[in-house]
Amino acid sequence: MISACLGLGAVVGGLITLRLMPARPLIAANLALTTAALPFLALAVPLPVVIIGLTCVVAFAGLTFLNEVWDATMQQLIPAEVLSRVTSYDILISTIAMPVGYALAGPAAQRVGIPATLVAAAIILAAPSFAIVFLPGVRRVRRTPHGTIIEGEAALASS
pLDDT at 73 over 80: yes
Q: What is the pLDDT of residue 153?
A: 60
Would you call 77 exposed, middle or buried from its count of C-beta atoms within 10 A (0-12, 13-18, 19+)? middle
Q: What is the pLDDT of residue 154?
A: 53
What is the mean pLDDT of the segment spanning 27-39? 98
Tens digit of each residue's pLDDT (9 = 90 or more) over 102-156: 999 999 999 999 999 999 999 999 999 999 999 999 999 999 988 899 987 655 4
Domain boundaries, the chain: 2-158
What whole-number distance in Å separates Cα of residue 26 and Cα of residue 7? 23
Name the pTM for this structure.
Answer: 0.89
Tens digit of each residue's pLDDT (9 = 90 or more) over 82-101: 999 999 999 998 899 889 99
3-state secondary structure of 83: helix
What whole-number distance in Å separates Cα of residue 158 and Cα of residue 154? 6
